[in-house]
């Protein structure tokens, strides 16, 4: 009976790397370019993969290569295998100073400025060759993680499947109504929720990929009280919203930490807080996929995120 080593000795691990790239690119030419191979060489590799798995793996359509069911079933275990191999190498060789990896992080747009700026500063300081790509949070953060669209997600809901999607609490926040510094409500001694709802609002687009994405959580809360806002302008950019509020009495709802952001604290004033409302007490989690638990690079970044953001990003200066 052959040992595991003897059985695997005949397998070229480069074939698995090529299969992974083909599954991502769905194009022989682009896959060849990614791996610095010629197109004929990549075509020969695909032929060997088909023989190895006894399956066509891909079929051609006008949009490019489409994976077969067999190929799709291989994708997740293949990713885990390659990450394990990478972790085996990283475990002895990983160094932040020499890391040139691109990390992808999704987070709520309302918290982007408060979270991503201190994080990228720390990343550039400790790992000057690494890079970070920010995406808007999805209504369901686990979907982006499972699809490998992101490496980590900062989200206001903890996943139900904690085994596949481990998470860690990094802070708490609550909703605050903001107006410009000269807003009429800043002169009012006691402001109520009803007082705020007399004014029109600008609002930040949340998850544009979700059918529920344009529904701000504050509106769900208001609906339980039979109330609603009059939203006159929406944008995906917080700076645009604040500029639109200039010389007006429009209000904006954001997190309590917005008042600490330099370019906003000089322009905005909090007029009403939902600090003592349990339904609007928001916990913020850092979520990952189990496949990166043994990746030295990802675990280093995770610790950097925790050290940089946990509690600190949610305190008011």
Mean pLDDT of 115-127: 93
pLDDT tier at 233, thresholds 50, 70, 90: very high
d(CA 278, CA 174): 9
What's the pLDDT score for residue 91?
A: 58
Helix (H, G, I), strand (E, B) or coil at 188: coil
Q: Tell the burial category of 55 from Cβ atoms under 10 Å away from its Cβ (0-12, 13-18, 19+).
A: middle
Higher pLDDT, 206 or 284: 284
* Residue 76 CA, distance from chain mean position: 20
d(CA 277, CA 236): 27
Domains of the chain (ranges, CATH numbers): 4-93 (1.10.10.10), 97-164+290-308 (3.40.190.10), 172-281 (3.40.190.290)
What's the pLDDT score for residue 306?
A: 94
Place of tokens 């949340």: 206
- Which residues touch 220 (CB under 8 Å, ≥6 apart)? none
Indicate whether 15 pLDDT > 50: yes
Mean pLDDT of 234-244: 88
pLDDT tier at 85, thresholds 50, 70, 90: confident
d(CA 227, CA 221): 9
Averaged pLDDT score across all residues of the chain: 86
d(CA 153, CA 138): 9
> pLDDT tens digits for 31-61?
888 888 888 888 998 999 898 889 999 988 8
Q: What is the CA radius of gyration of the chain?
A: 24
> pLDDT tens digits for 267-283?
999 999 988 787 788 88
Mean pLDDT of 83-103: 78
Phi and psi dihedrals of 244, rounded to 5?
-70, -25
> pLDDT tens digits for 172-216?
888 899 999 999 999 998 999 999 999 999 998 754 343 344 457
What's the pLDDT score for residue 132?
A: 94
pLDDT tier at 4, thresholds 50, 70, 90: low
- For residue 168, give Cα distances in angstroms to 136, 270, 303, 306, 310: 19, 29, 11, 9, 9
What's the pLDDT score for residue 211?
A: 36
What's the predicted TM-score (pTM) here? 0.66
Q: Tell the burial category of 92 from Cβ atoms under 10 Å away from its Cβ (0-12, 13-18, 19+).
A: exposed
What's the pLDDT score for residue 257?
A: 85
What's the pLDDT score for residue 317?
A: 57
Portion of the chain with pLDDT greater than 90, in percent: 39
What's the pLDDT score for residue 235?
A: 86
Portion of the chain with pLDDT greater than 70, in percent: 91
d(CA 280, CA 233): 23
d(CA 295, CA 164): 15
Provide the Cα torsion 70, 74, 76, 82; round to 10°.
-160
């Amino acid at each position: 009976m052959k040992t595991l080593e003897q059985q695997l000795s005949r397998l070229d691990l480069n074939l698995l790397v090529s299969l992974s790239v083909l599954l991502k690119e769905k194009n022989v030419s682009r896959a060849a370019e990614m791996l610095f191979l010629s197109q004929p060489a990549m075509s020969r590799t695909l032929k060997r993969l088909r023989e190895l798995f006894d399956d066509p793996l891909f079929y051609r359509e006008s949009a490019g290569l489409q994976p077969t069911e067999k190929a799709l079933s291989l994708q997740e275990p293949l990713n885990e295998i390659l990450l394990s191999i990478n972790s085996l190498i990283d475990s002895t060789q990983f160094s932040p100073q020499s890391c040139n990896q691109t990390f992808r992080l999704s987070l709520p747009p309302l918290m982007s400025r408060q979270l991503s700026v201190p994080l990228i500063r720390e990343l550039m300081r400790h790992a000057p060759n690494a890079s970070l790509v920010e995406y808007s949070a999805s209504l369901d953060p686990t979907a982006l993680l499972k699809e490998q669209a992101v490496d980590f997600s900062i989200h206001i809901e903890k996943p139900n499947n904690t085994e596949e999607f481990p998470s860690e609490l990094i802070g708490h926040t609550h909703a605050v109504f903001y107006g410009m510094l000269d807003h009429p409500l800043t002169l009012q001694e006691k402001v109520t929720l009803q007082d705020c709802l007399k004014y029109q609002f600008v609002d930040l687009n949340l998850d544009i990929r979700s059918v529920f994405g344009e529904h701000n959580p504050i509106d769900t809360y208001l609906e339980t009280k039979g109330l609603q806002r009059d939203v006159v302008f929406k944008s995906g950019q917080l700076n645009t919203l604040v500029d639109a509020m200039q010389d007006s009495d429009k209000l904006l709802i954001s997190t309590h930490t917005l008042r600490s952001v330099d370019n906003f604290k000089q322009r905005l004033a909090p007029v009403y807080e939902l600090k003592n409302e349990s339904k609007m007490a928001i916990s913020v989690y850092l979520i990952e996929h189990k496949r990166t638990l043994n990746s030295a690079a990802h675990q280093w970044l995770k610790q950097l995120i925790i050290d940089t953001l946990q509690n600190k990003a949610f305190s008011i200066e």
